[in-house]
Amino acid sequence: MHIGELAERTGLSLRTIRHYDDVGLLPATARTDGGFRVYSEADAARLMLIKQMKPLGFSLEEMAEILSLLNAGGVAERAGAVAGASAAGPAAARLVEFLERAEHQRTKMARNLEQADEFIAMLGRQTS
C-alpha cells in the first residue's frame, strides 16, 4: 500500500510516517520506480505497535529496541511470564523492563485521567 493508505488506516499523518521512515523505525518495504514508498501489512502492524508505544513515553530508540526484541525469534511469547524471564535470557528480561515501565506509565496516565474527570465533574456542577 502507498503511504496515503497507510496514514488513513492508522490515523497517523504522512509527515509522521515519513519521519519514522527517515529515522529507521519504519522503513518502507519497497519503493516504486517513481520513488514512492510502498508498505506491507507487516509494516502497518509495526506502525500500530509504534502508535501504541508513543503515549507511554518511549523514545524512538527504545521503540526500535522493543520492535527488534519482539521480532527476535518469538521472544515476546517467552517474556510473557515475568517470573520466567530470567531463564529465557537477556532479551526477555529487557522486554520485562519495558513492560514494567509501560505499566507504571499507564498507571500514571490513569491517575491523571481520574483527576481530569474530577475537574470536569466539578466544572459541570458549577455550570449547572
Which CATH number goes with the domain that contains 35? 1.10.1660.10
Q: What is the mean pLDDT of the chain?
A: 89
Is 67 among the domain residues?
A: no
Whether residues 78 and 128 share a domain: the answer is yes
Q: What is the pLDDT of residues 6-20, one digit of tens each?
A: 999 999 999 999 999
Handedness of CA 51, 69, 110, 45 (dihedral sign): positive
What is the number of domains present in the chain? 2
Q: Please report, in tens digits, the pLDDT of each residue of the chain (128 residues total).
A: 999 999 999 999 999 999 999 999 999 999 999 989 999 999 999 999 999 999 999 999 999 999 999 988 554 454 444 444 455 689 999 999 999 999 999 999 999 999 999 999 999 999 98
Domain range for 16 is: 1-55
Q: What distance lies between CA 75 and its chain's CA centroid?
A: 17
Whether residues 128 and 80 share a domain: the answer is yes
Whether residues 17 and 49 share a domain: the answer is yes
pLDDT score for 70 = 93
Cβ 25 vs Cβ 64: under 8 Å: yes
pLDDT score for 45 = 95
Is 64 among the domain residues?
A: no
Is 94 among the domain residues?
A: yes
